[in-house]
Structure 1
Amino acid sequence: MSAFQRRVAGYRQALPVMLGSVALLVFAGACRTGEREGGEAVTVAADPGKEIYDRVCFACHSIGEGPRIGPDLKDIHQVRAHDWLVRWLRDPVGMTKTDSIGRAILAQWNNVPMVSPNLNDEEIDQVLDYITRVSEGRTVAASEDLGPVELTPAAFEEGSRIYFDRCAGCHGTLRAGATGPNIQPERTTQIGTAAIRAILANGTPGGMPPWGRQGILSADELTLMAKFVQLPPPDPPQRPLSEIRASWSLKVPVASRPKAPQTTRDWENYFGVILRDAGQVAIIDGDTYEHITTVETGFAVHILRSSSTGRYFYAIGRDGRVTLIDLWTETPTLVAQVQGCTDARSVEGSKYPGYEDRYLIEGCYWPTQYVVYDGLTLEPLSVTDVGGSTYDTNEPLTEVRVAAIVASHNGPVWMVALKESGFVAIVDYSKKGFPVVSRIPAERFLHDGGWDHSGRYFLVAANMRNKMVVIDAETQELAATFETGVRPHPGRGANWQDPEFGWVNATTHIGQGLLSVYGADPANHPQHAWKVVRQVPFTGTGSLFLKTHPNSAWVWFDMALNNDPEGARQTCVYSKQEAKVHRCWTVGDRGRAVHFEYNRAGTEVWVSVWDPKGELVIYDDKTLAEKHRIRGDWLVTPTGKFNVHNTAEDVY
């Protein structure tokens, strides 16, 4: 294997996952010239096999240039019989279940299935003929000339903007990778502009959205980004406390706020709904389904958190802007804002008795720091650097991002997951300066997580290591790590009592269609604790979220990372009692079905149709019947939904 092949093989083993919006635009290969036997010049129009290959295969495969995301197809006609190849292209997912060779291929390629190319038999014959001709040298697979890897200052600035919006979350500000692979120039220049462009256009089986086919990036933007990631990343700015203070805006002082709720609505059953691309949060009455108001919150809100009392929503945008929303006013009101990071994903309030609503922590993706604020005003109080080295090899790191943060109900501490270094930091907010009092070695590439049913154990995914990590908050020690599947993504997880294994938790995966249930009851079922006890495969290539409620018989999960647009619109429920998937169905006719939230009583489940023309679909949790569908021009790309009571009390 050449150095180039080894580099690309390494790239394949770390498939990126980047979240995007949804539409549909078929990406077609550009018109290129090849050579038929006998010297006849052919174009895409005259060579349908080439057109199909460029459109369907090129992003994942080469013919004679080594592996990309999938294997090199050169001489595949000599390795596999023609009828086998036809059957494979008709139904690759089915073949991995029924055919011994198919199962072996799936295992070899990290259990990431090939998405069905949706070709008819004539098209299959045409593309196989093209691969054979190129393999035998009878056709030249000339690459499209996309020009030199050079960008004007304006184009580089536009590339930086797109990268921040669509790529940085998984690949990092400095492109060193985490949830997605390292895409620094040392790697990307070996892949080349044409191959990168095809990957961006068509996505990957591991969950990276097809930015071109979805219509998120135009043809010119695909070429721009394919070149941009081959150039050195710009130097990102730092953000000291002085700059954070300068950004602080207290719009309504505490003394001017109501002393009691000014609304007759059940504000504890409000839903905060993220309108991702609009930079807004909508507040909806969970009893009447009425849209109460929309709050301008800043760029691409990632999550909402409720304060300990539930009175306030904290919104964190990907631009690092924190917004404080008062729910006691007659109409929910923005009362303060501040920007502590240039890129962020996490925020959490203080929840220990005696500290309710007193403090707030924001974790930065960039710079490598966390910021603590006054919980009622967002006045910046302190900044703490979290940089350092990896927990296992002591490798110095230039980028350490703060991922999940959870607040203990049993002590004045926050559990802070440090993504690249693999430590879980414990921040004590009862101490002056809000210091890190413990750094627990865990596993690298920590991402999302939540509490077990007892509130003692912090369960967090190390998704690029295919593991869940268990931290004992009482002893401040690592309790366990264990593998669950290809890139677990539990959100905050789901707690319930299994009829056989007692208390369990679960995760879905962004790299495969798999629900993994694991024991989480060390007190009563120690033999099953922190071990996978059930694996439930489902159709599709990946999921983002799952959710349950103590009053529910179900665990809901989405298929939002399915590369098949129809599959991405489905949701499923797992029966706690039957220990199997009970039912799957299509939620909407566009976009993706994503994220779940229960009402306060646990009798209804809200699901987002993630689309520019979004919807919120409300189901009766007992019967699974649709009860209501919220629509409106204001409902732009709805993603996460957060019920006040459930979020404040960590009900999941």
Structure 2
Amino acid sequence: MKHHSHRLLRVLTLFVGLWLPAFGTSAELGFNPLNAEHISGDTLELVLETPALSPGEAVDLWVALFYNGEFLFASGSPAKPVFGTGKQPLVKGITPTDAGITLKIATDDLEAGDYAFYALYVNSLHGLTGDYPPEKLLEHARSELAKGQTTLKKLTPPPLTKSEFDRGQQIYFERCAGCHGVLRKGATGKAITPDITLKLDLEYLRWIIANGTSAGMQNFDGDLTAEEIDLIARYIQHEPPMPPEYSMEDMKATWKVFVPPEQRPTKKMNNYNIDNIFSVTLRDAAQVALIDGDTKEIINIIDSGYAVHISRMSASGRYVYVIGRDAKLNLIDLWMEKPDNVAEIKVGIEARSVETSKYPGWEDKYAIVGDYWPPQYVIMKGDTLEPLMIVSTRGVTVDTQEYHPEPRVATIVASHQRPEFIINVKETGKIQLVNYEDLTNLKVTTIATARFLHDGGWDSTRRYFLTAANNVNKIVVIDAKEGKLKKIIEVGTRPHPGRGANFTHPTYGPVWLTSHLGDATISLIGTDPQNRPENAWKVVETLEGKASGSLFIKTHPKSTNLYVDTPLNPDIEERQTVAVFDINNLGKGYEVLPIAEWAGLTEGPQRVVHPEFNKDGDEVWFSVWNAKDQISAIVVVDDKTRTLKQVIKDPRLITPTGKFNVYNTTHDIY
């Protein structure tokens, strides 16, 4: 044990409702009983019972701890005292009238061991001079003394070999980092840093990882082996490794142009109806499948980054931009005889979002990727992916005004109102409007909103951007034309709209909708301030869906149906089915479609995820997502009849998740 003579003990808060003892009365100063053991790193709460003084009497309050043969005395103000070797009272000349002092002491920097805490009332008229107490403080007979004892215990993580740690790090990146963060500080998911996880039993951690929660965490028993679940449970009890930065030099070392722009076709060289092509994420295969929406045939399987999060289309509809969770971006040219990669680049360690410039006159000129790590966004040439500029998003949070080291970039959308990208910065709660007219003199408008911004999309006019701050249960509305915050709206538990859904409600007019991870509700928000100001930017109706754990909600201008998935619900039946509402008769409730059953698969978790319409709005496609060593499928539903139309099965369709129709994605139709 190291000697603790110069270490400071921080006291986070001292709530003073002081009622001090009258000397010579029967009342005594004393601590409420302490637990025999406390975990080092936890806040240690000491409650001091303080009987009242005689009228008019004032005393000094001394507070000290004793460790390893030495006293450390509290100083400073009651709100923020600290412990050190200086000898002084915590509070001087007090005549309290109320009972109780609660000391909340941070123990992060304390060594494990036995500690004694003392509180002492000293009347300077009883033989003390100035601020200096007697050397033998505890022998001062004419003072009231309180004493409490406890043992601080350090928790140690379970053993991991280097190979186990490296494997755990990879699994965490693939399965956990998106919700819990690279540094595990939480966002959509809870914080799972070692100060939290070490207090939880390993068996409990294994159970949660295997079975999920009703709050929206999926079960992983169908995706990970029992050995992998045990490994990740132990891994998250260790300190997270700090990943490296990623520079312009790093990016340029990965940048490849397979087909230069001057060698590409000058017109479409195939017979595909490219407006109705679907770019389908093959999550665990690190690929995307281009599927002909007319024939349901696979056009090409294209290598990409790992676990592609989204595909986005250029304003012209010619190019597909595919971003992997490993921050690898691929550019696919749909005009080629066989559409394929024409360029790629890796712009970080982890990423989720990509978008392209869409404002008239700037179509296809720029692409942008938002990184989870490092926390930054990267602007590139739209036709080659040449990196042009890196902008860090590290900064101060909107609520506590504290510096945050990991403000990840979530959704990015291209404004239709201005030559701007609209960027969600998750942890700080700030939305940045980045004007791309002049990259040398970059103009960025920063809007303070709500923390833990995630996904979102446009209203039907494409003027207002609605986005979820899901860990605080809010929807933020940005007026892209004015470049200002319009409203922050309270919704259900952990909204996760994807891009949301738009339709005209028979009573409330135009509405935008979100479903939720944490409950079964669906929130309808009015979006027409011109003609329906009484309904604008408020929840006008709340639907009761079939279950929590929803990721996506979808309709189409030519459809009267609203589809809601629930792939992250821990119940098998709930995650294998979807709810569908009639938007003209919402009061009728929902019908359940047995999508996984229609797929005809015989094994696996069969999570049904991500409804996506075809261009004409008469079909809706669902992924039936299984593990990478199991058969998956895509189920095509006839929107008018809500019946099975076709099942797409192919050994190459490994872990299909998101599907992005070229026309609908290009024109922000949802």
Distance in 1 separating the partners of 2:596 and 2:205: 32
Check whether the contact 2:157–2:198 (CA below 8 A) recurs between aligned residues.
no
Match in the other structure for 2:198: 189
How far has the Cα of 1:182 moved from its partner? 1.1
Q: How does 1:35-184 map to 2 (within 5 A)?
A: 149-184=158-193
Distance in 1 separating the partners of 2:444 and 2:325: 27
Distance in 2 separating the partners of 1:573 and 1:336: 39
Q: Given the alignment, which residue of 231, 243, 256 partners 2:250?
A: 243
Check whether the contact 2:636–2:644 (CA below 8 A) recurs between aligned residues.
yes
Check whether the contact 1:444–1:462 (CA below 8 A) recurs between aligned residues.
yes
How far has the Cα of 1:298 moved from its partner? 2.0
Match in the other structure for 2:409: 402
- For residue 169 of structure 1, give the secondary structure of its aligned residue in structure 2: helix
Match in the other structure for 2:278: 271
Whether 1:616 aligns to 2:620 is: no
Match in the other structure for 2:446: 439
- For residue 379 of structure 2, give the secondary structure of its aligned residue in structure 1: strand
Q: Given the alignment, which residue of 328, 332, 355 partners 1:325?
A: 332
Instruction: Summarize deviations over 1:423-447 as a string: whole Å, max 9, x none.
Output: 0001111112473511100000000
Check whether the contact 2:275–2:662 (CA below 8 A) recurs between aligned residues.
yes
Match in the other structure for 2:596: 588
Q: Count how many residue pairs are aligned between Structure 1 and Structure 2.
A: 512
- For residue 584 of structure 2, give the secondary structure of its aligned residue in structure 1: coil
Distance in 2 separating the partners of 1:242 and 1:599: 41
Match in the other structure for 2:620: 605
Name the amino acid aligned to 2:360. Answer: P
Distance in 2 separating the partners of 1:346 and 1:148: 34
Q: 1:413 to 1:184 in 2, by over 3 A?
A: same
Match in the other structure for 1:516: 523
Q: Given the alignment, which residue of 392, 396, 399 partners 1:392?
A: 399
Check whether the contact 1:384–1:435 (CA below 8 A) recurs between aligned residues.
no
Check whether the contact 2:579–2:591 (CA below 8 A) recurs between aligned residues.
yes
Distance in 1 separating the partners of 2:157 and 2:584: 59
Match in the other structure for 2:209: 200
Name the amino acid aligned to 2:438. Answer: K
Q: Greater share of helix residues, 1 or 2?
A: 1
When normalised by structure 2's length, the TM-score is 0.74
Distance in 1 separating the partners of 2:243 and 2:540: 44
**In angstroms, what is the RMSD of aligned CA positions?**
1.9
Distance in 2 separating the partners of 1:274 and 1:443: 30
Whether 1:458 aligns to 2:465 is: yes
Q: Given the alignment, which residue of 233, 258, 274 partners 2:240?
A: 233
Whether 1:526 aligns to 2:533 is: yes
Distance in 2 separating the partners of 1:264 and 1:7: 65
Distance in 2 separating the partners of 1:171 and 1:530: 30
Q: How does 1:440-519 map to 2 (within 5 A)?
A: 440-519=447-526
Q: How does 1:229-378 map to 2 (within 5 A)?
A: 229-378=236-385
- For residue 191 of structure 1, give the secondary structure of its aligned residue in structure 2: coil
Distance in 2 separating the partners of 1:533 and 1:420: 29
Check whether the contact 1:428–1:434 (CA below 8 A) recurs between aligned residues.
no
Name the amino acid aligned to 2:611. Answer: F
Distance in 2 separating the partners of 1:218 and 1:264: 44
Distance in 2 separating the partners of 1:390 and 1:436: 21
Match in the other structure for 1:644: 662
Name the amino acid aligned to 1:584. Answer: V
Q: 1:7 to 1:445 in 2, by over 3 A?
A: farther
Distance in 2 separating the partners of 1:336 and 1:483: 42
Name the amino acid aligned to 1:439. Answer: T
- For residue 450 of structure 1, give the secondary structure of its aligned residue in structure 2: strand
Distance in 1 separating the partners of 2:438 and 2:595: 48
Distance in 1 separating the partners of 2:170 and 2:270: 41
Instruction: Summarize deviations over 1:22-70 as a string: whole Å, max 9, x none.
Output: xxxxxxxxxxxxxxxxxxxxxxxxxxxxxxxxxxxxxxxxxxxxxxxxx
Between 1:467-476 and 1:310-319, the stretch displaced more is 467-476
Q: 1:293 to 1:434 in 2, by over 3 A?
A: farther
Distance in 1 separating the partners of 2:445 and 2:407: 17
Check whether the contact 1:372–1:434 (CA below 8 A) recurs between aligned residues.
no
Check whether the contact 1:362–1:371 (CA below 8 A) recurs between aligned residues.
yes
Check whether the contact 1:382–1:433 (CA below 8 A) recurs between aligned residues.
no
Distance in 1 separating the partners of 2:248 and 2:445: 23
Name the amino acid aligned to 1:248. Answer: W
Distance in 1 separating the partners of 2:545 and 2:553: 13
Distance in 2 separating the partners of 1:178 and 1:436: 28
Check whether the contact 2:279–2:288 (CA below 8 A) recurs between aligned residues.
yes
Q: 1:268 to 1:539 in 2, by over 3 A?
A: closer
How far has the Cα of 1:368 moved from its partner? 0.9
Distance in 1 separating the partners of 2:157 and 2:277: 53
Between 1:254-263 and 1:626-635, the stretch displaced more is 626-635
**What fraction of aligned residue pairs are identical, expressed as a percent?**
46
Instruction: Summarize deviations over 1:442-469 as a string: whole Å, max 9, x none.
Output: 0000000011111111100000001111
How far has the Cα of 1:572 moved from its partner? 1.6
How far has the Cα of 1:595 moved from its partner? 0.5
- For residue 641 of structure 2, give the secondary structure of its aligned residue in structure 1: coil
Q: Given the alignment, which residue of 541, 545, 563 partners 2:570?
A: 563
Distance in 1 separating the partners of 2:210 and 2:462: 43
When normalised by structure 1's length, the TM-score is 0.76
Check whether the contact 1:425–1:436 (CA below 8 A) recurs between aligned residues.
no
How far has the Cα of 1:582 moved from its partner? 3.8
- For residue 409 of structure 1, give the secondary structure of its aligned residue in structure 2: coil
Name the amino acid aligned to 2:624. Answer: V
Name the amino acid aligned to 2:537. Answer: W
Q: Greater share of strand residues, 1 or 2?
A: 2
Check whether the contact 2:157–2:238 (CA below 8 A) recurs between aligned residues.
no
Between 1:259-268 and 1:217-226, the stretch displaced more is 217-226
Name the amino acid aligned to 1:616. Answer: I
Match in the other structure for 1:40: none
Check whether the contact 1:176–1:182 (CA below 8 A) recurs between aligned residues.
yes
Q: Given the alignment, which residue of 213, 223, 228 partners 2:230?
A: 223
Name the amino acid aligned to 1:236. Answer: P
Q: 1:188 to 1:410 in 2, by over 3 A?
A: same
How far has the Cα of 1:404 moved from its partner? 0.4
Distance in 2 separating the partners of 1:601 and 1:241: 42
- For residue 475 of structure 2, give the secondary structure of its aligned residue in structure 1: strand
Check whether the contact 2:545–2:579 (CA below 8 A) recurs between aligned residues.
no
Structure 2: give runs of 5+ residues left out of the alignment: 1-33, 44-155
Instruction: Summarize deviations over 1:79-125 as a string: whole Å, max 9, x none.
Output: xxxxxxxxxxxxxxxxxxxxxxxxxxxxxxxxxxxxxxxxxxxxxxx
Instruction: Summarize deviations over 1:554-602 as a string: whole Å, max 9, x none.
Output: 1111121221112211112111111243411210235011101111111
Whether 1:629 aligns to 2:647 is: yes
